Amino acid sequence: MRRLPVVGVVVVVVTATLSAFGASVARGSAPSAGSDAAHEVGLKDFDSAKFPAEARVDNEWFPLIPGSELVLEGRSTIEGKRGKHEIIATVTDLTKVIDGVRTAVVWERDVSRGQILESEIYFSAQDVDGNVWLFGEYPAEYEDGKFARAPDVWIGGVDGARPGVTMRADPQTGTSAYLQGLAPAVEFKDKAKVARTGMHNCVPFDCFDDVLLIKESAPLEPKEGFQLKYFAPGVGNIRVGAQGGKQQEILVLNDARTVDAAGLAEARAAALDLEAHAYRGSKVYRTTSPIESCTPDGQCTPAG
Protein backbone atom coordinates (compact mmCIF):
# COMPACT_ATOMS: atom_id res chain seq x y z
CA MET A 1 0.00 0.00 0.00
CA ARG A 2 1.44 3.35 -1.02
CA ARG A 3 1.59 5.86 1.82
CA LEU A 4 -0.74 8.73 1.06
CA PRO A 5 0.06 12.28 2.14
CA VAL A 6 -0.24 12.71 5.88
CA VAL A 7 -0.06 16.46 5.92
CA GLY A 8 -2.60 18.56 7.72
CA VAL A 9 -1.61 21.79 9.36
CA VAL A 10 -2.41 24.03 12.29
CA VAL A 11 -4.33 27.06 11.10
CA VAL A 12 -2.11 29.80 12.44
CA VAL A 13 -1.34 31.82 9.34
CA VAL A 14 -2.88 35.28 9.08
CA THR A 15 -5.50 36.22 6.53
CA ALA A 16 -2.91 38.00 4.42
CA THR A 17 -1.21 34.68 3.81
CA LEU A 18 -4.48 33.00 2.95
CA SER A 19 -5.05 35.69 0.31
CA ALA A 20 -2.10 34.26 -1.61
CA PHE A 21 -4.36 31.31 -2.41
CA GLY A 22 -7.37 33.51 -3.14
CA ALA A 23 -10.36 35.18 -1.57
CA SER A 24 -13.32 33.40 0.00
CA VAL A 25 -15.05 30.70 -2.05
CA ALA A 26 -18.61 31.34 -3.12
CA ARG A 27 -20.76 28.32 -2.37
CA GLY A 28 -23.76 29.30 -4.47
CA SER A 29 -26.48 26.67 -4.58
CA ALA A 30 -24.11 23.70 -4.17
CA PRO A 31 -25.00 21.04 -1.59
CA SER A 32 -24.03 21.83 1.97
CA ALA A 33 -21.06 20.11 3.63
CA GLY A 34 -23.40 17.93 5.65
CA SER A 35 -25.56 16.82 2.73
CA ASP A 36 -25.71 13.29 1.35
CA ALA A 37 -23.94 14.55 -1.77
CA ALA A 38 -21.00 15.68 0.32
CA HIS A 39 -20.93 12.41 2.30
CA GLU A 40 -21.04 10.14 -0.73
CA VAL A 41 -18.62 12.00 -3.01
CA GLY A 42 -16.35 9.72 -5.03
CA LEU A 43 -14.51 9.38 -8.33
CA LYS A 44 -17.72 9.47 -10.33
CA ASP A 45 -18.52 12.85 -8.77
CA PHE A 46 -15.35 14.57 -9.99
CA ASP A 47 -16.20 17.65 -12.04
CA SER A 48 -13.65 20.40 -12.59
CA ALA A 49 -16.50 22.92 -12.73
CA LYS A 50 -17.18 22.24 -9.01
CA PHE A 51 -13.84 23.75 -7.98
CA PRO A 52 -13.20 27.45 -7.37
CA ALA A 53 -10.60 29.41 -9.30
CA GLU A 54 -8.39 29.64 -6.21
CA ALA A 55 -6.38 26.79 -4.71
CA ARG A 56 -7.73 27.31 -1.20
CA VAL A 57 -7.90 24.27 1.10
CA ASP A 58 -9.47 25.05 4.48
CA ASN A 59 -11.26 21.79 5.25
CA GLU A 60 -11.43 21.47 9.06
CA TRP A 61 -9.80 18.04 9.01
CA PHE A 62 -7.23 18.64 6.28
CA PRO A 63 -6.27 22.33 6.10
CA LEU A 64 -3.42 23.27 3.77
CA ILE A 65 -2.35 26.77 4.75
CA PRO A 66 0.63 28.22 2.84
CA GLY A 67 3.74 28.36 5.02
CA SER A 68 2.56 25.71 7.47
CA GLU A 69 4.82 22.78 8.25
CA LEU A 70 3.99 19.55 10.02
CA VAL A 71 6.44 17.02 11.48
CA LEU A 72 5.46 13.44 12.30
CA GLU A 73 7.99 11.16 13.96
CA GLY A 74 8.03 7.49 14.89
CA ARG A 75 9.21 4.24 13.44
CA SER A 76 8.72 2.03 10.42
CA THR A 77 9.14 -1.67 9.73
CA ILE A 78 10.34 -2.31 6.19
CA GLU A 79 11.37 -5.79 5.02
CA GLY A 80 11.57 -6.91 8.63
CA LYS A 81 13.88 -4.05 9.67
CA ARG A 82 12.68 -1.52 12.23
CA GLY A 83 14.01 2.01 12.50
CA LYS A 84 13.29 5.66 13.19
CA HIS A 85 11.08 7.40 10.70
CA GLU A 86 10.14 11.04 10.12
CA ILE A 87 7.87 12.84 7.69
CA ILE A 88 8.13 16.60 7.19
CA ALA A 89 5.49 18.29 5.05
CA THR A 90 5.48 21.95 4.05
CA VAL A 91 2.62 23.69 2.28
CA THR A 92 4.09 26.00 -0.34
CA ASP A 93 2.50 29.17 -1.69
CA LEU A 94 2.64 27.72 -5.21
CA THR A 95 -0.18 26.32 -7.35
CA LYS A 96 -0.49 24.02 -10.35
CA VAL A 97 -3.39 23.45 -12.74
CA ILE A 98 -4.17 19.74 -13.13
CA ASP A 99 -7.17 18.28 -14.94
CA GLY A 100 -8.66 21.76 -15.23
CA VAL A 101 -8.36 22.56 -11.51
CA ARG A 102 -5.92 24.88 -9.74
CA THR A 103 -4.30 22.87 -6.95
CA ALA A 104 -2.12 23.65 -3.94
CA VAL A 105 1.46 22.33 -4.05
CA VAL A 106 2.80 20.49 -0.98
CA TRP A 107 6.44 19.44 -0.50
CA GLU A 108 6.93 16.33 1.63
CA ARG A 109 10.09 14.54 2.79
CA ASP A 110 10.25 10.98 4.07
CA VAL A 111 13.30 10.29 6.26
CA SER A 112 14.11 6.86 7.67
CA ARG A 113 17.08 5.90 9.84
CA GLY A 114 18.55 9.34 9.28
CA GLN A 115 18.51 9.19 5.48
CA ILE A 116 16.04 10.70 3.05
CA LEU A 117 14.03 8.01 1.30
CA GLU A 118 11.67 10.18 -0.67
CA SER A 119 11.13 13.81 -1.56
CA GLU A 120 7.87 14.53 -3.32
CA ILE A 121 5.43 17.15 -4.43
CA TYR A 122 1.74 16.41 -4.44
CA PHE A 123 -1.27 18.41 -5.50
CA SER A 124 -4.55 18.97 -3.64
CA ALA A 125 -7.67 21.06 -4.16
CA GLN A 126 -10.96 21.57 -2.36
CA ASP A 127 -14.31 21.56 -4.17
CA VAL A 128 -17.15 23.95 -3.45
CA ASP A 129 -18.73 21.47 -1.02
CA GLY A 130 -15.55 21.32 1.08
CA ASN A 131 -14.22 17.91 0.00
CA VAL A 132 -10.44 17.75 -0.46
CA TRP A 133 -9.16 15.89 -3.52
CA LEU A 134 -5.74 14.50 -4.44
CA PHE A 135 -4.78 15.28 -8.06
CA GLY A 136 -1.41 13.60 -8.39
CA GLU A 137 2.07 13.00 -7.01
CA TYR A 138 5.68 13.15 -8.09
CA PRO A 139 7.56 11.03 -5.50
CA ALA A 140 11.32 10.91 -6.08
CA GLU A 141 13.06 8.02 -4.33
CA TYR A 142 16.64 8.22 -3.01
CA GLU A 143 19.38 5.77 -2.11
CA ASP A 144 22.39 6.88 -0.04
CA GLY A 145 21.24 10.48 -0.41
CA LYS A 146 21.14 10.39 -4.21
CA PHE A 147 18.18 10.26 -6.58
CA ALA A 148 17.49 6.68 -7.63
CA ARG A 149 14.11 6.58 -9.37
CA ALA A 150 10.55 7.94 -9.57
CA PRO A 151 8.40 4.96 -10.60
CA ASP A 152 5.08 5.98 -9.07
CA VAL A 153 4.32 9.29 -10.77
CA TRP A 154 0.67 9.91 -11.52
CA ILE A 155 -1.31 12.94 -12.61
CA GLY A 156 -5.09 13.21 -12.70
CA GLY A 157 -6.45 13.21 -16.25
CA VAL A 158 -3.29 11.62 -17.73
CA ASP A 159 -2.78 7.98 -18.73
CA GLY A 160 -6.11 6.87 -17.25
CA ALA A 161 -5.47 8.42 -13.82
CA ARG A 162 -8.28 10.19 -11.95
CA PRO A 163 -8.29 12.45 -8.88
CA GLY A 164 -9.62 10.95 -5.66
CA VAL A 165 -10.90 12.15 -2.30
CA THR A 166 -8.40 12.76 0.49
CA MET A 167 -10.94 14.08 3.01
CA ARG A 168 -14.69 14.49 2.92
CA ALA A 169 -16.28 17.78 3.87
CA ASP A 170 -18.12 16.25 6.81
CA PRO A 171 -16.71 12.78 7.54
CA GLN A 172 -19.13 10.54 9.40
CA THR A 173 -19.28 6.88 10.39
CA GLY A 174 -21.74 4.76 8.46
CA THR A 175 -20.86 6.34 5.12
CA SER A 176 -19.42 4.35 2.24
CA ALA A 177 -15.74 3.79 1.53
CA TYR A 178 -14.25 6.06 -1.11
CA LEU A 179 -11.30 5.91 -3.51
CA GLN A 180 -8.43 8.29 -2.81
CA GLY A 181 -7.27 8.27 -6.39
CA LEU A 182 -6.97 5.95 -9.35
CA ALA A 183 -3.83 5.49 -11.45
CA PRO A 184 -3.85 2.14 -13.30
CA ALA A 185 -0.39 2.66 -14.82
CA VAL A 186 1.26 2.62 -11.37
CA GLU A 187 -1.30 0.30 -9.74
CA PHE A 188 -2.59 2.98 -7.40
CA LYS A 189 -6.15 2.44 -6.17
CA ASP A 190 -6.17 3.20 -2.46
CA LYS A 191 -9.44 3.60 -0.60
CA ALA A 192 -10.56 4.94 2.78
CA LYS A 193 -13.47 4.65 5.19
CA VAL A 194 -14.41 6.65 8.26
CA ALA A 195 -13.95 4.28 11.21
CA ARG A 196 -14.62 6.42 14.32
CA THR A 197 -15.38 9.98 15.34
CA GLY A 198 -15.39 11.91 18.63
CA MET A 199 -12.21 10.34 19.99
CA HIS A 200 -9.70 11.79 22.49
CA ASN A 201 -6.07 11.35 21.50
CA CYS A 202 -2.74 12.63 22.80
CA VAL A 203 0.51 13.00 20.85
CA PRO A 204 3.76 14.76 21.81
CA PHE A 205 2.53 18.01 20.29
CA ASP A 206 -0.75 18.21 22.26
CA CYS A 207 -3.92 16.39 23.32
CA PHE A 208 -7.02 16.66 21.15
CA ASP A 209 -10.77 16.04 21.41
CA ASP A 210 -13.22 15.16 18.65
CA VAL A 211 -10.54 13.18 16.80
CA LEU A 212 -11.46 11.41 13.56
CA LEU A 213 -10.11 7.96 12.62
CA ILE A 214 -9.90 6.96 8.97
CA LYS A 215 -8.97 3.45 7.89
CA GLU A 216 -7.08 3.24 4.60
CA SER A 217 -6.28 0.21 2.46
CA ALA A 218 -5.01 -0.81 -0.97
CA PRO A 219 -7.41 -3.23 -2.70
CA LEU A 220 -4.66 -4.20 -5.15
CA GLU A 221 -2.41 -5.20 -2.23
CA PRO A 222 -4.75 -6.87 0.31
CA LYS A 223 -1.86 -8.44 2.26
CA GLU A 224 -0.53 -5.00 3.18
CA GLY A 225 -3.22 -4.55 5.83
CA PHE A 226 -4.61 -1.18 6.85
CA GLN A 227 -3.17 2.23 7.63
CA LEU A 228 -4.94 4.08 10.44
CA LYS A 229 -4.89 7.88 10.33
CA TYR A 230 -6.13 10.14 13.12
CA PHE A 231 -7.20 13.71 12.38
CA ALA A 232 -7.85 16.56 14.84
CA PRO A 233 -10.17 19.43 13.88
CA GLY A 234 -8.33 22.57 12.85
CA VAL A 235 -5.03 20.68 12.83
CA GLY A 236 -5.11 17.72 10.48
CA ASN A 237 -3.26 14.42 10.73
CA ILE A 238 -1.88 13.84 14.25
CA ARG A 239 -1.18 10.10 14.29
CA VAL A 240 -0.55 7.22 11.87
CA GLY A 241 -0.93 3.59 12.89
CA ALA A 242 -1.10 0.18 11.26
CA GLN A 243 -3.28 -2.91 11.37
CA GLY A 244 -1.88 -6.04 9.76
CA GLY A 245 0.68 -6.14 6.97
CA LYS A 246 4.46 -6.49 7.16
CA GLN A 247 5.51 -2.94 6.22
CA GLN A 248 4.14 -0.92 9.12
CA GLU A 249 4.45 2.77 9.84
CA ILE A 250 3.80 4.28 13.29
CA LEU A 251 3.96 8.08 13.52
CA VAL A 252 2.83 10.83 15.89
CA LEU A 253 2.67 14.57 15.48
CA ASN A 254 5.75 16.08 17.09
CA ASP A 255 5.50 19.64 15.80
CA ALA A 256 3.23 21.90 13.75
CA ARG A 257 4.66 25.29 12.92
CA THR A 258 4.68 28.18 10.49
CA VAL A 259 7.93 28.59 8.59
CA ASP A 260 9.54 31.99 8.20
CA ALA A 261 10.20 33.70 4.86
CA ALA A 262 13.43 31.76 4.40
CA GLY A 263 11.70 28.46 5.12
CA LEU A 264 8.93 29.23 2.65
CA ALA A 265 11.52 30.19 0.03
CA GLU A 266 13.29 26.86 0.65
CA ALA A 267 10.05 24.94 0.16
CA ARG A 268 9.28 26.86 -3.00
CA ALA A 269 12.74 26.18 -4.43
CA ALA A 270 12.55 22.48 -3.53
CA ALA A 271 9.16 22.12 -5.24
CA LEU A 272 10.46 23.81 -8.38
CA ASP A 273 13.59 21.64 -8.39
CA LEU A 274 11.45 18.51 -8.15
CA GLU A 275 9.27 19.76 -11.00
CA ALA A 276 12.32 20.42 -13.16
CA HIS A 277 13.49 16.88 -12.46
CA ALA A 278 10.01 15.53 -13.23
CA TYR A 279 9.90 17.29 -16.59
CA ARG A 280 13.21 15.69 -17.53
CA GLY A 281 12.37 12.17 -16.43
CA SER A 282 8.61 11.62 -16.60
CA LYS A 283 6.53 11.48 -19.77
CA VAL A 284 3.39 11.71 -17.65
CA TYR A 285 4.55 14.83 -15.83
CA ARG A 286 5.66 16.51 -19.05
CA THR A 287 2.00 16.76 -20.08
CA THR A 288 1.32 19.27 -17.28
CA SER A 289 1.56 23.05 -17.27
CA PRO A 290 4.22 24.65 -15.02
CA ILE A 291 3.83 25.35 -11.33
CA GLU A 292 2.66 28.93 -10.82
CA SER A 293 2.87 31.72 -8.29
CA CYS A 294 -0.33 33.71 -7.72
CA THR A 295 -0.79 37.24 -6.46
CA PRO A 296 -3.48 38.13 -3.89
CA ASP A 297 -5.74 39.39 -6.70
CA GLY A 298 -5.60 36.02 -8.44
CA GLN A 299 -3.06 36.72 -11.19
CA CYS A 300 -0.93 33.60 -11.74
CA THR A 301 2.31 33.26 -13.70
CA PRO A 302 4.90 30.46 -14.06
CA ALA A 303 7.08 30.36 -10.95
CA GLY A 304 10.18 28.78 -12.47
Contact (Cβ atoms closer than 8 angstroms) between residue 53 and residue 176: no
Which residues contact residue 304 at a Cβ distance below 8 angstroms, ignoring those fewer than 6 apart? Answer: 272, 275, 276, 290, 291
Give residue 127's pLDDT: 97
Closest among 154, 215, 138, 158 to 188, alpha carbons compared: 154
Give the closest residue to 293 by CA, choosing from 7, 68, 9, 97: 97
217 Cβ contact partners less than 8 Å away, ≥ 6 residues apart: 1, 190, 191, 192, 224, 225, 226, 227
pLDDT (tens, 9 = 90+) of the chain, 304 residues, equals 455 565 554 433 333 333 444 433 333 333 333 444 445 566 778 999 999 999 999 999 999 999 999 999 998 766 566 678 899 999 999 999 999 999 999 999 999 878 899 999 999 999 999 999 999 999 999 999 899 999 999 999 999 999 999 999 999 999 999 999 999 999 999 999 999 999 999 999 999 999 999 999 988 887 778 899 999 999 999 999 998 877 778 999 999 999 999 999 999 999 999 999 999 999 999 999 999 999 988 899 999 7
Cα–Cα nearest to 96, from 271, 264, 260:
271
* Main-chain phi, psi angles of 45, to 5 degrees: -90, -5
Nearest to 198 by CA among 171, 227, 228: 171
Looking at residue 114, its pLDDT comes to 80
What are the chain's domains?
15-22+33-38+51-288 (2.40.360)
Note the pLDDT of residue 10: 44
164/170 Cα distance (integer angstroms): 16
